[in-house]
Structure formats: C-alpha cells, structure tokens
C-alpha cells in the first residue's frame, strides 16, 4: 500500500493550535519545566546579548504564556527597549499574555493578532525589523524548521539582528509519548535536534556567527510527598546573527 502523505503545514499548525490552547489556562502552574523556564531562559538570553546595543524591538516567537518575553521586557527596559511583540499559534495562550499585561499595566508590549504559520506569513505579519527574536522549544513543533528560520531571518535587523532558540536535543521517539495520536507530532524535528541539525538549519538559511551550547532546563517535582524532581531536560541554545 502507498504510504500516507504527510499532513499539510496548515493542518499541522491547526492541530498544534488546538493542543496548546487546551494547556493555556494551567500552563504556568504545571509541575515540570515551566516553574524554572522564565528564570533560566531569561538569564541565558541576557548573557548572550550582554553588551549588545540597540535592542529596540523584540519578538517572542511561539511565546506560550509569555514568561520569557515579559522577563526580557523588564530587563531590557533600562537599555531602551521600545516594544516586545508576542506571537503564538494558540489564541488562548495569547489571552493569558494579555491578562498579565493588563493586570500589571505594562506598556511597550504588543500581542500579535497573527496566529498562523510564520513561514507562510505576509511581510506585514510580525512586521520587521526586530533586533532580537527568541523562542523556546518552538522549532520542534513547526512543520518546516528551514522555512521558519528563513522567515524569521527576514524579520531581523540586517547586520545586527540576533535570534536565540532553545530546542530539545534529539531523543528516539516513544510509541506512547504525548500528542502521539496527533498530526502535530509529524513536525520535521518533533523528536528533537542533533547538534548538527540545528547548526545546519541556521547556517543554510543565511545566518552567521552560529553558536550552539548545551542547556539543561531544570525540572520541578509535583509537590507530592516523596516525589523528587526529574532529571533536567537536555536542550540546545542556538544563537546567530543576520549578516
């Protein structure tokens, strides 16, 4: 029998949107990586951009509930940041960000109305230029990592714009992993990236000064008596500049 063709990018994005929408209301309180993500990822990004002037516009791509972008907004405000834009394919995730912005009366923040596939977006969606683009675990779920990086590169400030992506290290897929019944798990790198994978994606799509480091994301216990925290998630943090 002929192999079933892979789902279209549109179908995969819609599936991911639906799945992440279901997580939105409880994402920040889940035991696991979320309790450490804001601190650890923010700290790493700030080290990578230390001394870099002119970060006026930031894009938190695949922002989830916005913990990384909101933390960066606070840290970069003294350096003159003018706008942090939040994007996600899950509208309910964006609603959570909007609630935080409203509750704290934050300025210099924009929740993008665009919730589609950036690889197929018009130039007016997530309009350039951005001086810094960040994402956490997002490239694992996009239909085409090359097309996504290419689209993001076009939105970086030429010559100085920097992107920083946190991605899962490759692990052999398990039959019973979460989302296994969904078309969303047919994303190109759903099982994670090898060092060579992420390096190639960024270099082929015209980025320069590509640097890749290991990043161990701390995990939390469930809080139940006797429960201990799992081993950290092994990730890569990949940074690069637009030439």
Candidates 239, 243, 163; CA nearest to 208 is 243
Please tell me the predicted confidence (pLDDT) of residue 228.
72
Beta pairing, strands 132-136 & 57-61: parallel
Strand (E) or helix (H) holding 148: helix 145-153
Q: 96-146: per-residue pLDDT in tens?
A: 999 999 999 999 999 999 999 999 999 999 999 999 999 998 998 899 999
Q: 196-243: per-residue pLDDT in tens?
A: 999 999 999 999 999 999 999 887 766 666 667 778 889 999 999 999
Residue 6 pLDDT class (50, 70, 90 cuts): confident
Q: 101-113: per-residue pLDDT in tens?
A: 999 999 999 999 9
User: From CA 74, how far away is CA 76, in angstroms rounded?
Assistant: 6
User: pTM (2 decimals)?
Assistant: 0.91
User: From CA 171, how far away is CA 190, in angstroms rounded?
Assistant: 10
Q: Say what angle helices 145-153 and 195-204 make with each other, to 10 degrees.
A: 50
Q: What percent of the chain has pLDDT over 90?
A: 68
- CB–CB of 146/197 below 8 Å? no
- Mean pLDDT, the chain, whole residue set: 89
Please tell me the predicted confidence (pLDDT) of residue 39.
87
Q: 165-199: per-residue pLDDT in tens?
A: 999 999 887 654 554 445 555 677 888 999 999 99
């Amino acid at each position: 029998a002929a192999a079933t063709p892979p789902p279209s990018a549109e179908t995969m994005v819609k599936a991911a949107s639906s799945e992440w929408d279901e997580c939105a209301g409880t994402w920040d309180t889940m035991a696991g990586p979320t309790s450490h993500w804001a601190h650890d990822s923010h700290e790493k990004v700030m080290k990578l951009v230390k001394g870099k002037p002119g970060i006026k516009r930031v894009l938190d791509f695949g922002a989830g509930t916005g913990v990384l972008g909101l933390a960066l907004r606070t840290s970069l405000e003294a350096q003159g940041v003018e706008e942090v834009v939040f994007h996600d394919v899950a509208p309910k995730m964006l609603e959570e960000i909007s609630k935080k912005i409203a509750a704290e009366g934050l300025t210099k923040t924009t929740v993008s109305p665009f919730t589609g596939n950036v690889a197929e977006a018009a130039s007016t969606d997530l309009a350039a230029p951005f001086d810094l683009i960040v994402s956490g675990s997002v490239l694992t779920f996009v239909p085409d990592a090359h097309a996504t990086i290419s689209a993001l590169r076009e939105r970086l400030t030429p010559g100085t714009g920097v992107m920083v992506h946190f991605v899962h290290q490759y692990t052999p897929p398990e039959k019973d992993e979460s989302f296994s019944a969904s078309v969303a798990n047919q994303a190109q790198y759903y099982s994670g990236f090898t060092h060579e994978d992420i390096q190639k994606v960024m270099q082929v799509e015209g980025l320069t000064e590509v640097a890749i480091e290991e990043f161990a994301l701390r995990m939390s216990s469930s809080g139940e008596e006797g429960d201990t925290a799992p081993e950290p998630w092994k990730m890569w943090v990949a940074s690069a500049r637009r030439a």
